[in-house]
Amino acid sequence: MKIENSDKKYLKLLARDFPTAQAASAEIINLMAISNLPKGTEHFLSDIHGESEAFRHILKNASGTIKLRIDEVFPELLPAERKTLATLVYYPEEKLEILKSESDDLKGLYSSILYRLIRLLRRVSFKYTRSFVRKQMPKEYAYIMEELLYGSNDEALGRANHRKDIIDSIIEIGAADDFIKDLCELISHLAIYKLHIVGDLFDRGAGSDKVVNMLKEFGRVDIQWGNHDILWMGAAAGNKACIANVIRICTRYDNLHTLEVGYGISLRPLVTFALKTYENDPCTDFKAAVTKKDAMTDTDMDSLRKIGKAIAIMQFKLEGQLVAEHPHYDMEYIRLLDKIDYEKHTICIDGVDYPMSSCNFPTIDPKDPYALTPEEDAVMDRLQAAFLESELLQDHIRFLYAKGSMYKLVNGNLLFHGAVPVTKNGEFDPIETEDGPMSGKQWFDYADRLVRAGYFGSADPDRRKRGVDLCWYLWCGYKSPLFGKKKITTFERLFIDDESTWKEAKSPYYNHIDDVSFIEKILAEFGGNVEHGSIINGHIPVKKGSQPIHAGGRALIIDGGFAKAYQKTTGIAGYSLVQNSYGFILSAHEPFESKEKAVIEELDIHSSQVAREQVTNRMLNKDTDEGKEIQEQIDCLKMLLEAYREGLITQGQ
């Protein structure tokens, strides 16, 4: 191995971490051992949409992986016993209290549970090095867990009773409850090595803030932004059109709790304005999609409708201003307030006059329909300040920027939320930007950079504003990779009964998704594995009778309806895609009822395999993207080792 002079300065930097030949050798051996372990299990989920309880359960059961491991490890147990053990792993505190109340032999119960959990932990941790497993353990119990996991199997050394002594001690000092809880959390955590979220953490469900907190706690995650995510990112950056959309959607799904309690954003100025302005308007077009109607009084429902209308009108005005300011968005079709005949109560769209279901717009000046009234302006200023000043929201959005991107390559597979803009013929369709036309990967990369410049504050004020405004376009623009539809028809759905105006035609991308050559062209554009890679999308719920698998498995759409609002359409409650060392497994999940039923009745989410990839050679870490990075580290360390042996770099400095 020839070492150039130019390499020496980098090797000297590396020598700070590995100051001796022995240290470098030890790290090489460690990295080579990691490379030859089976690849860890990766999970791909999409379109969580704030369904925090269902998402928490999927994380806890690792999309059914925990149950499979229990079946493998404990064939001697009855099915009911295995079900109880699985529920304990998912919800240790709650289930343990029930088991304790039903037991006459508490010590025997604790002992049985601890032995079983250690066996299960050994099974889910076998793909990892001891060092990695140790880092995931709670510090207080790490040494004890290691002893139970690794250090008590050698009967020849007189250690046959070592594990029993440790377990007896844990029970005797009253630490069993905490220890069991930590073991269960560790098992769930290790069952998933990496988590890939293919967009849309936010909106509809009532726990978007909780979902992000769970992802932050899990840590080993990446996020491909969805259009609902980018909407919140734009709102957090102060874009008023994004803020209005966020509030309207939260109102539509009776989810103002996320804003007010989750993120501490006061909506009082808006509520006061709405109740006063629309006091005598029933606002019947703004019926909230409330799932628990028994919890809502008529007054509550009436207030939600008024709030929804007030923020929607402001949204349409603000969006109209943005479209006028950025003509290259090519979204004039969304400017409809100036197309209304306020006397005839009709609206002209594409040359056709449609009757409107209602036309009471006290804040719209027909001569200047996109101007906010002074009262509306004051409301939006206060709402903007509240979004900008919410510490938790800003923390969550920074997390989305740190862990997220417009797309990601994972082991040759391409992950993105929506659709690559293409023409009817399947060619990359350029979009006009202030910096010239962009298409394909170039457009994804450009959008990624610009929205970051907008949020983090480019030195150029114009570039910063363009980045913040682009978040709104990425939310609903035709050539947005996150939206993938011809146009958004929010106004039409609210004010026009003729459902032909509601149509949101899909991008031509979806017309070509069953064409293998089309998929390979996109993979080549983004640097994926053209021969064996797949495209993984979310965004478009897979309807009943449709299939999530396209082009012979080369493209997968895994939005199966996590959000309750979609489950009538999909018939299920989401897909999860699992890739272990043997290939992909696509599972469909039935709706999650409640945490209480999961604990008391031991109701797990029923999952059924939709497809399974069969591979002949088991995938090792060295076959992954991470394995390539490890090999680069090994090569550098070997060079350092050679430099030590040749005396080119002095050891121990």
DSSP structure class, residue 202: S
Whether 154 shows a pLDDT value over 60: the answer reads no
pLDDT of residue 204: 85
Confidence of residue 557 (pLDDT cuts 50, 70, 90): confident
Kindly state the helix (H) or strand (E) to which residue 308 belongs, with its residue range. helix 298-325
- Asked whether the beta carbons of 296 and 290 are under 8 A apart, the reply is yes
What phi and psi, each to the nearest 5 degrees, are found at residue 386? -65, -40
**In the predicted model, what is the mean pLDDT of residues 512-528?**
96
**In the predicted model, what is the mean pLDDT of residues 255-283?**
94
Q: What's the whole-number average pLDDT of the chain?
A: 88
Q: Cα separation of 414 and 141, whole Å?
A: 39
What phi and psi, each to the nearest 5 degrees, are found at residue 153? -105, -5
pLDDT of residue 584: 81
Whether 289 shows a pLDDT value over 80: the answer reads no
Whether 291 shows a pLDDT value over 60: the answer reads no
Whether 571 shows a pLDDT value over 70: the answer reads no
pLDDT of residue 295: 47
Q: Cα separation of 226 and 139, whole Å?
A: 36
Whether 156 shows a pLDDT value over 50: the answer reads no
Confidence of residue 160 (pLDDT cuts 50, 70, 90): low
Within 10 angstroms of residue 153's Cβ, the number of other Cβ atoms is 11
Whether 649 shows a pLDDT value over 50: the answer reads yes
Rg (CA), the chain: 28
**In the predicted model, what is the mean pLDDT of residues 113-122?**
94
Confidence of residue 440 (pLDDT cuts 50, 70, 90): very high
Write the CA distances from 315 to 53, 54, 203, 328, 560, integer angstroms: 31, 31, 17, 20, 29
Whether 609 shows a pLDDT value over 80: the answer reads no
Whether 339 shows a pLDDT value over 60: the answer reads yes
Which of 79-83, 279-283, 290-294, 464-468 is the least confident region?
290-294
pLDDT in tens, 182-239: 999 999 999 889 999 999 999 888 899 999 999 999 889 999 999 999 999 999 999 9
Q: Cα separation of 355 and 497, whole Å?
A: 8
Burial class (CB in 10 A: 0-12, 13-18, 19+), 3: middle
Could you list the beta-strand ranges (E) of 431-492: 431-433, 436-438
Q: Cα separation of 335 and 20, whole Å?
A: 68
Write the CA distances from 12 to 19, 22, 630, 631, 639, integer angstroms: 9, 16, 19, 19, 11
Write the CA distances from 306 to 142, 215, 465, 480, 491, integer angstroms: 55, 35, 31, 31, 16
Pairing verdict, β 535-537 and 413-416: parallel
Express as a percent the part of the chain with pLDDT over 90: 62
Confidence of residue 111 (pLDDT cuts 50, 70, 90): very high
Whether 321 shows a pLDDT value over 90: the answer reads yes
Whether 157 shows a pLDDT value over 90: the answer reads no
Q: Cα separation of 472 and 444, whole Å?
A: 15
Could you list the beta-strand ranges (E) of 87-232: 194-197, 221-224
Q: The pTM is what? A: 0.89
Confidence of residue 494 (pLDDT cuts 50, 70, 90): very high
pLDDT in tens, 78-101: 999 999 999 999 999 999 999 999
Whether 592 shows a pLDDT value over 70: the answer reads no
Confidence of residue 462 (pLDDT cuts 50, 70, 90): very high
pLDDT of residue 294: 45
Whether 608 shows a pLDDT value over 60: the answer reads no
Beta-carbon contacts of residue 199 (< 8 Å; ≥ 6 apart): 46, 47, 223, 224, 225, 226, 227, 228, 229, 416, 417, 418, 482, 538, 539
- Asked whether the beta carbons of 300 and 271 are under 8 A apart, the reply is no
pLDDT in tens, 369-414: 999 999 999 999 999 999 999 999 999 999 999 999 999 999 999 9
Burial class (CB in 10 A: 0-12, 13-18, 19+), 61: buried
Whether 272 shows a pLDDT value over 60: the answer reads yes
> Does residue 408 sit in helix, strand or coil?
strand
pLDDT of residue 40: 84
pLDDT in tens, 19-51: 999 999 999 998 998 898 888 888 898 888 898
**In the predicted model, what is the mean pLDDT of residues 129-153?**
84
What phi and psi, each to the nearest 5 degrees, are found at residue 541? -60, 135
Whether 12 shows a pLDDT value over 90: the answer reads no
